[in-house]
Amino acid sequence: MTEITALLPPLVPQIAVVQGASRGLGLAFARLLAEGGARVFATCRRPDRAEALAALAQRHADLTVLPLDVTDESSIVMAARAVAREVPCVDLVLNCAGLLHADDQQPERRLRAVRPELFARSFAVNAIGPLLVARELEPLLMRSANGLFAALSARVGSIADNRLGGWYAYRASKAALNMLVKTLSIEWARHTPPITCLALHPGTVATDLSKPFLNGSERRVFAPEVAARRLLAIVGAATPAQTGSLVAWNGETLPW
């Protein structure tokens, strides 16, 4: 993708749900979609602590903040019901919540560091959560003429592309997410009109998730707005023929 393409405004769907919008890429997606005129439902697990998102909602009457913790199934059900009370369909669902490290848990550099707790949390947030979001928003996506479900994955979740090793829980949970997106794409391709499913790799983005691991040697690190704009251009141009693939920020289809 050229720099000129990166400057193009994103193609904006009419009604979007951004899951995991308190900060980082999710917040950037919510901002770009709201500024583009979309009706946006931005979810996060603690709206009372999501100050930047609350400020965004103050500026955009068409942006609604809803509580949703992907590890709490009932909160996903409640959020989907709240969306259904407001709109007849959803055109775009963007799953952004992701876990690489927590205060008490760092990604594993070697086998000795593997802990079941980090595995369980990583799978809950990175893989099972987006699938439950898909399950609960399915009826609304099915009523859209161009429904698209996207999940922020990562190149490190590609089995074929794994050259460095390490990060067992994150890699495995993103590989699981990729499989779930692929599996969902097969089921939803049978629907009329089909719902397109994509796993997205945003590149390396300067957020809280990547910060501890940036050492200045990276070839490129994107600002969240830049990465989100590029991915929205990809999502806006996506066709049902692309469903079930892992697409990077530059439009490249990555191997599973």
Ligand X SMILES: NC(=O)c1ccc[n+]([C@@H]2O[C@H](COP(=O)([O-])OP(=O)(O)OC[C@H]3O[C@@H](n4cnc5c(N)ncnc54)[C@H](OP(=O)(O)O)[C@@H]3O)[C@@H](O)[C@H]2O)c1
* Binding site residues, ligand X, CB under 6 A: 20, 22-26, 44-46, 69-71, 96-99, 125, 152, 154, 202, 204-205, 207-210
Residues 149 and 93: their CA atoms lie apart, in Å, by 5
Q: Which is nearer to ligand X, 187 or 208 (CB)?
A: 208
Token pair listed for 240: 């049902």
Q: Which is nearer to ligand X, 204 or 245 (CB)?
A: 204
Least distance in angstroms from the C-beta of 98 to ligand X: 2
Residues 117 and 187: their CA atoms lie apart, in Å, by 31
Least distance in angstroms from the C-beta of 192 to ligand X: 30
Query: What single string gives the DSSP state of each residue in 186-231?
Result: HHHHTSSSPPEEEEEE--SB-STTTGGG--S--S--B-HHHHHHHH
Residues 173 and 175: their CA atoms lie apart, in Å, by 5
Least distance in angstroms from the C-beta of 36 to ligand X: 19
Least distance in angstroms from the C-beta of 14 to ligand X: 24
Least distance in angstroms from the C-beta of 88 to ligand X: 26
Distance spanning both ends of the chain, measured CA to CA: 21
Q: Which is nearer to ligand X, 10 or 20 (CB)?
A: 20
Token pair listed for 130: 């987006």
Q: Three-state SS for 234?
A: helix
Q: Which is nearer to ligand X, 99 or 140 (CB)?
A: 99
Q: Which is nearer to ligand X, 90 or 199 (CB)?
A: 199
User: Which residues, 6+ apart, have CB-to-CB distance to 201 below 8 Å?
Assistant: 153, 154, 155, 246, 247, 248, 249, 254
